Structure formats: C-alpha cells, structure tokens
Chain A
Amino acid sequence: MDFHLATIKELRQGLDSKRFSSAELTKYYLDRIKKFNKDLNAFITLTEDLALEQARAADKRIAAGSQEMLTGIPYAAKDLFCTRGVRTTAASKILENFVPPYDSTVVARLRAAGAVLVGKTNLDQFAHGSSTETSYYGPVHNPWDLERNPGGSSGGSAAAVSAGLVPFALATETGGSIRQPASLCGISGWKPTYGRVSRYGVIAMSSSMDTMGTVARSAEDLAITAEAISGFDPKDGTSGKLPVKAWSKNLTRSMKGLRIGVPQEYFVPGIEKDVKEKVSMAIEEIRKLGPKIIEVSLPMTSYGSMVYAIVTPSEISSNLSRYDSIRFGHTTDKANDLYELYAKSRAEGFGDEAKRRIMTGAYALSAGYRDAYYTKAQKVRRLLVNEFHEMFKKVDILLCPSTPNVALKIGKAADDPLFGYIADQLNIPASLAGLAAMGVPCGLGKPDDGAAVSLPIGMQILGPQWGEELVFQVGYAYQQITDWHKQKPVGF
C-alpha cells in the first residue's frame, strides 16, 4: 500500500483491521524521511528510537482495543513544540543543544492519544519568517520545486506532509505560518481560534497571536487532529473553556442558505493572475452548492500588516529575553563581565531576523514611544477585531486567497527584510483577530514571471472565533466536489 498517499482515516482503518501495524507504518515513514530529507531539509531531528517504541506501544493498545483516533499514527512536530527529552531548537543556534525537561500540552495530548512522533521539523528561526529560509539549519525545499521555498514559518511541517513523509504534522501560526506554507505546498492547514489549542510548552513568538494547529492532507484529517489537541488547558491562562466537539463526525452540512463573504481587500493589487483565477474558480465551485455569495469589504484589514509590524516585534523582544545563556542555551566563551555575557551570547546565538525584531520591538515599547507605537497599534487592532465581529453578523464564512503568489525561488527573500510583509496582508488580519481559519488547495498554476512550473494555489476559509465546526464543514464540502487536495508533487 502507498501509505504516503493515505489519509489519517485510511490509516486508522488499516491499523484497526490489522492490515498493517503501527511499527510497519512508522518504519515506512522513517525510511521515506531518510530517503527524501536530504533533498527537502524538512526535519531538524529524527526521533527514530522513540518513534519505534511509541509504535510498539500503540500496537499493544490496538491489540487491546483501547485505541483512539490517532493511536499508532506517525506525525512530526514543528521544532517549536517542547518535547520531553528530545532536543527542541526553534531552528536557532541559541537553542542548538536545548533538551526540554517537559512536554508541551499538545505533544502531551498526542502522546496520551498514542500518536507516534517521528521527528521535529524545520522552520524559520523562532518562527520569524515566511519562507523557512532563516533557519540556522538551512532552508527547506518545496517538494513541488526544490528550487523554491515552501513558505513558512511552518515550512518543514508543510513540506513533510506534502512529500508524504508523515500523514500530519504540528504547526504554529502567528500571522500566516500555517495557511501560507500549506497553500504553497498544496496541502490543508488549520489555524485554530486563538485560545482553542493550548500554547503551553510551545516556544513563544508573539503571545497574543500564537496559535498551534496542524497541516494534513484533507479537511477531514484536520478535524481529526483538531479533536485530539484542542481544549482548555489550566496551564495556559489564555486557553478557552469552550467544549471540543466531534468535528470529524459532523462534517457533512448543506451549503444551502449559508452566507459566504468574499472580501474585496483580499484580492490585493499584485496578486498573481493564476492565483486570482483559481481562487475565483473555487468560489464558483462552492457557489454551485447553493450558498449565498456576497461581496464584502473589510477596510480595516489593510492596516493589519502595520499593526502586526509593531505588536509582534514588541512581544518578541520580551519573549526572547529569557535566552540569556544563564540557565540553558548558547553561552559565549568571550565574556569578561555580566553585560558581555548577555550581549555576546545573544549576539552569537540569535539570527539576523530575531535581532531585527528585538530591536524594533524594544524601540516600540520604550518610554516616550510606547504610546505612539505599541498603544496605538493595539487600538487599531481593536478596531480590526470589531470589524470582523460586525462582519460575522452579516456572513457566516469568508473565502479568499491564502497567498498572493505561488511558491517563490529560494534566496528571493534573503536580501529583503520586508519580504513577506506584503504577502502577510492576506493572513495577518485573521491572526490579529484570533479567528478560526483553514487553508485548502484549490488548483495549480504558474507564477506571473511565466516560469514553466505548475505550483499549488490555496484558498483560505475564515470563520469567526470558535467557528471551527463551520470552517471544517466548508472545507470538507469543497473537498467533496474537487480533487486538488489529492494532487501530489512529482517524484515523491
């Protein structure tokens, strides 16, 4: 069986009917990772021994009939999720040798569910970026065209699922880091409502926006993983108490009567021709299912990138303060006093993007500037949140492109510190507002420069906060009438 083409649901059926064991499945994926990772650089760490051990335990559980939906299913975790006893680097030098003494809540939940961790995936250093090129461990290559980046910051997770190295992977999103790489790699990605999934134990980027989600092959698989990792966590003061429903059992819903908004601001100038065309075609496909499609306007969203450019580095500058070399992490050997210990350890340990954000953030929060920058940005953010709130009284769901372009060539982003901020326009507003969102593949196309390639294009489905059920249902409905999510990159 071609395991790498299988969905979680299919693997579940195979494991439960004893057609194959979790150990076989795990070995199969580990072999694929070993075979393809040198081309992709999607993994920073492989956890082979742990995986085989977890797989054997899962097989026992299945034999005893006490399995859950993810028991025995291999997965990868973005290397931002703390894993007890397994090195967690955040793709940085400063945490090159950091082995967490504890599990993040999400990883603990998957451990309890019997899922099998095969490795830790590459990302932009500390998730700062949208191309997975800022990793200390080198860039990730897009399985659809190895010369191109997979998007980011969850590029390693997206590339791994896209190339069939795992059936699903944990990812995180602060401003597009799930939806964008999922789109550029031709897979499905779920960005949860802020507070839906515990942030505990996931290395923080921007605390008021960070969300922990998954990338997988279908909306249905996303719903399965969402059920396993969602829910209140007493260790995360910002996690919500809303109940987790059986989303994967409740995917079928008539689109008739649904009010679907298409925000004009999301078809920004500079959006590639094929992207615009394929997303518009996808919306037309959905129209055939009977919902009311309404053109809407969200004028505040155009300020999203500006707000993000202040709030995110501000929180980052503070969140990265704990990397002071005293309790863990890279320590300089050139320090003569305490100041030098801090300054040199951090200068040596952090990459350029982290330094850029620390400086920007410290500036935006400093006395005399805080009101003009941070405080004002938070006020604008409030207006943006209110705008979405009002919008979701008029429509049930929003559809728009996930990215303005198909995957870009590696290196294009490196010399441009503002790279990504423009593309972020499409992702950031929903992150600032903490919405439930999903990216689904909706076609293949070529870039505007006419390169002779066929690359994935994605559409995003935005729902209100806590609107996961409807988001999954719309994604599922679309994937029932199209096959774009079943497209595979050649050679994998």
Chain B
Amino acid sequence: MNYEPVIGLEIHVQLKTRSKMFCASPNNPDETEPNRNICEVCTAQPGSMPVINKEAVHMAILVGLALGCEIPEYSKFDRKNYFYPDLPKGYQISQFDQPICGAGIQVVEYEGKKRPIRITRAHLEEDAGKLIHEGSTTLVDLNRAGVPLLETVTEPDFRTPAEAKIFLQNLRNIVRYLGVSDADMEKGHMRCDANISLRPAGSQDLPPYKIEVKNLNSFKSVEAALNYEIKRQSEMQESGEKLTSQTRGWDDSKGITVEQRTKEQAHDYRYFPEPDLPIMHFIRGDVEKIRAELPELPAQKEERFISEFSLQDRDAGVLVNDKNLAAYFEEVVSELEEWFKEERLEADIAKLAKMAYNWISGDLQALLKIEGIDPQNSRITAENLAELIKMIHQGQVSTTAAKRILEVMFETGGDPSHVAADEGLSQVSDEVAITAVVDKVIAKNANVVADYKGGKKQALGFLVGKIMAEMKGKANPQVASRLLEEKLH
C-alpha cells in the first residue's frame, strides 16, 4: 500500500532579549560559568514573583505578525505543573488557551510547488535550566532557566520531510531578519519536535495515532528522523502491526529513533491561569505600530531579488538564506549601478547582478567561511568588490587575475586597482601594444600561420597562447584573438 506522511512541527525559538522572561537576570546563552545569571526569581526562592518582560512580548508579536498570525485582543500566561530538577518552581510559566499569537499561514516551496502551511499558534514560555551529570551526581545550572522561548506550533500540513526542513529554515531566516534570535539549531537557540504519522494515500483523515520525535538538533536530523519514521511506520503497517501514540527520541549517531514514553505515561500538567501575572491586553493601534516595524522579510526579499535583478530562483534563495550576505549583495549591486551611472555607461543590471552573485556566493563566501566571518566584517568593502567587478566587466583584469586580486583584497583590504597594479595583474587591452606583439608572433611562427591559412583553425589558439606568453598573461585574450584574426585575413 502507498502511504502519505502527515507531519506537524513544534518549534521553540530562544528570544534574544536582554533579560530573562520573568526577571532581571541577564539572558546570555554563551555564559559558561554555571549559575552566574540567576536571581531569587529564576531560582524560585520562596516568595519571589515573576514579572512579564515587555521586550519578549514585543518580539513575540513581531514574529507572529511575520508569520501572518492573528494577534488577539488579550493573552494570558498559565502554569504547566511538573517536577524536574531543571524546573525550579515545579511549574513552567507557559500559555495554555490564550497564546500571544493565534492562527497564521506560511507558504513553503518545494520542487517548484508552493503549498500553504497553517500555523496553529505561537506562545511565550520560559526555558528550563540544564542538568550536568558527573558520575553518580547530577548538578543543576540555572543560567538558562527563565530564558524566553517562543513556541510555534503548526497544523499537520507537511507531506514530506523536505517541506518540514524548508519551513524550519524559513522560520530561522524570519527570526534572524527580525533580529529576535540567532536561531542556531546546533547551539539550541532553536529546537524542534516533529509529529508524524502515516495514512493511506488519498485519505483525508488524520491517522488514529501520532508519533512525537524529540531531540532534533539540526535541519539535517529533522529530515533524517522523519525519513526514518516514514520507513519504520510503513514497515510496521505493512506487517500488520498496530501503531500507537508515543514519544520517540532521535539518536543522531545511530540514525534511529528510540521509544521514550507511551501515551499511557503522558503527564497531566494541571494547567491553570498564572495568578502572579496580569492578563495582557493588546490595543489594535499598538499592534499596528509593531507591524510598521517589520523589516523586509526573507520571502519578500527573494521575490524582489528575482524581479529587480533577474536572479535565478535558486540564486536568490542562497542570498536570502543569509541576511548579511543578502545585504552585502545589494550594496555591491547598488555601488555598481552608481559607477555605471557616473561614467554614463550603459549598464546591464541583470548581467552585473549575476556577476556580483557569482563572485559573492563563490570566491568571496569561500574566503569568508575559512575565517568564519560575515561579509560585513571582512576587509573587502562592498565598494571595492564592486570596483573589481567593474574591472572584470571592462576587461581591465582577467577572471584568473581577479581571483588572485580578491584574495589579496581579503587579506590586506586594498582597493582592486592598486592591488592589480602592485601585483602586476592589470590586463592590457591597449590595441597598439597588443598589435605590436601580434606582428611579432606572426613573424616568428610562419609555419603555424601557414597551417591556419591552410584551414587548420585550431592553430589560432596556439598563436593566442604565444601572444599571452609574450605579454606575461596580461593581454586581454578577447582583444588579442580579434586582432590576430584581423591580421591573418
């Protein structure tokens, strides 16, 4: 039988607020000394009380608006009660039935097909601390306890693991564009649980069970775990085994999921409204003010790159995936436009943009990766890269020479014309100079010239090579080739 996967996601994103969700302790995910960023509130000392972090609320609304979610007129916090040593109060302050962001929608594009994914809700809550196991003892580090999390829940609308992965990447891009999270899955800034079940192809019903997969710490593991589950569940169904709801954990090293908890062992969290916090009321005007703060979002930017610069879908996607790279690209293109306008030259924006894209996503990004830095932090300013591209465009340097110039610029921060001169990499396009060398090469290679005239066309390449060698590679090969052909006719 053919099966169709039914997949939904729950994604926790750590918000980059200055202080924690309910107290003034610093929110610093990079703190390495345990129990440094703590106070009486996030360690749940008797009598301490939470207060709502306005910055976190603001960030949550920004994300909600970016995801197309409804922002309700009011929202409240609830207590989710359970015992665990990383949860100091014995309850997590979360949101149960009045989340800060209501239903929304996001379009996912996979293999050229666009499909809407419904977002159920997004709610604010606090993170737990961390347990450190040392031999037979377990230590508690509460630096992370109380860090704000925004949990986004989708409807079971994904039909392939790849769609789920793309959705996650889109969400990561959105929160990065909004500046509300670094959303680095490997660092735990963004965590994903996936629900997956299978139904017979063509069926519209939700399957009678649901497998929740936890411990997905990278985009790759999300896709791999879901693919694994599709295989596992379809094999079970084929062999007539009945699937029941359970929670499974992904083991990245073994590439398998392992049972953690069955439905019978499910917690009763005894949710009830958090009496220590007031209900939040959102005035329409305030929400609209926040909406006005929304920057251009990744999807909008991608569309604009395609329409404005005639970039390929794929190329636009690569740029948009990295907010900083996209910004750098735009700067380079805009510098190029300036140059061409100033020099009253006819500029083919599509061609220049394509060149800029190739240089940025290719050679420049390779250099950036080695150093592990953003383009904004490299020594190559957008203006200098634009100048280099202009020099290539005008034939002042060869592509080969330009690669070398880029490396020098990356190391020293010099501007490309100086680097080209210093390194002797300027390309000669001066026809008088090249003509002199052409004449010399023709005179020295009478046999080859005769071969060419006798119909052996490939002999031309040999002669061009001789010219280049004579000029130590600095001749513009197109100009040399043209002049040579003119002479030989």
Question: Which residues on A are within 8 Å of B, measured CB to CB?
Answer: 80-82, 88, 90, 95, 98, 100-102, 104, 199-204, 206-208, 234-238, 314-315, 317-318, 320-324, 326-328, 338, 342, 362, 365-367, 370, 374
Given contacts A207-B276, A237-B278, A321-B83, contact A327 B43 (CB under 8 A): yes
From 264 to 294 in chain B, residues with beta carbon under 8 angstroms from any chain A beta carbon are 268, 270-272, 275-278
CB atoms of A237 and B88 under 8 A apart: no
Is residue B50 contacting chain A, with contact meaning CB distance below 8 A?
Answer: yes
Q: A245 CA to B419 CA in the complex, in Å?
A: 76
Q: A104 CA to B48 CA in the complex, in Å?
A: 8
Chain B residues closer than 8 Å to A236, beta-carbon distance: 49, 51
Q: A80 CA to B52 CA in the complex, in Å?
A: 24
Which of B46, B51, B268 sits near A322, CB closer than 8 Å? Answer: B46
CB atoms of B268 and A237 under 8 A apart: no
Contacts between the two chains (Cβ within 8 Å), count:
105
Which of A82, A314, A324 sits near B47, CB closer than 8 Å? Answer: A82
Is residue B358 contacting chain A, with contact meaning CB distance below 8 A?
Answer: no
| Number of chain B interface residues as a range | 20 to 34
CB atoms of A203 and B275 under 8 A apart: no
CB atoms of A322 and B44 under 8 A apart: yes
Is residue B81 contacting chain A, with contact meaning CB distance below 8 A?
Answer: yes
> 6 tightest A-B contacts by CB?
A321-B90, A207-B275, A365-B270, A208-B275, A201-B47, A322-B44
Given contacts A201-B48, A338-B85, contact A366 B277 (CB under 8 A): no
Q: A367 CA to B81 CA in the complex, in Å?
A: 12
Given contacts A321-B83, A342-B83, A370-B270, contact A237 B49 (CB under 8 A): yes
Cβ of B19 to closest chain A Cβ, rounded Å? 13
Chain B residues closer than 8 Å to A88, beta-carbon distance: 46-47
CB atoms of B272 and A374 under 8 A apart: yes
CB atoms of A202 and B90 under 8 A apart: no
Given contacts A318-B81, A322-B90, A366-B270, contact A200 B46 (CB under 8 A): no
Is residue B338 contacting chain A, with contact meaning CB distance below 8 A?
Answer: no
Chain A residues closer than 8 Å to B403, beta-carbon distance: none
Q: A200-B48, A237-B50, A326-B88 are in contact. List 10 more A-B contacts (CB 8 A).
A: A206-B275, A235-B49, A237-B49, A237-B278, A238-B277, A315-B275, A318-B90, A322-B44, A324-B90, A328-B46
A to B CB contacts below 8 Å, 6 in the list: A102-B45, A104-B47, A207-B275, A237-B278, A322-B44, A365-B272
Interface of B: prevailing SS: loop
Is residue B40 contacting chain A, with contact meaning CB distance below 8 A?
Answer: yes
CB atoms of B40 and A321 under 8 A apart: no
From 42 to 65 in chain B, residues with beta carbon under 8 angstroms from any chain A beta carbon are 43-52
Chain A residues closer than 8 Å to B48, beta-carbon distance: 102, 200-201
CB atoms of B45 and A238 under 8 A apart: no
Cβ of A231 to closest chain B Cβ, rounded Å? 16
Which of B49, B50, B52, B79 sits near A318, CB closer than 8 Å? Answer: B79
Chain B residues closer than 8 Å to A80, beta-carbon distance: 47
Is residue B3 contacting chain A, with contact meaning CB distance below 8 A?
Answer: no
CB atoms of A327 and B44 under 8 A apart: yes
Closest Cβ neighbor of A207 among chain B residues: B275
From 391 to 411 in chain B, residues with beta carbon under 8 angstroms from any chain A beta carbon are none
Q: A452 CA to B436 CA in the complex, in Å?
A: 135
Is residue B89 contacting chain A, with contact meaning CB distance below 8 A?
Answer: yes
CB atoms of A203 and B278 under 8 A apart: no
CB atoms of B90 and A234 under 8 A apart: no
Chain B residues closer than 8 Å to A327, beta-carbon distance: 43-45, 88, 140
Q: A363 CA to B275 CA in the complex, in Å?
A: 18
CB atoms of B272 and A202 under 8 A apart: no
Chain B residues closer than 8 Å to A366, beta-carbon distance: 268, 270
Cβ of B288 to closest chain A Cβ, rounded Å? 26
Closest Cβ neighbor of A236 among chain B residues: B49
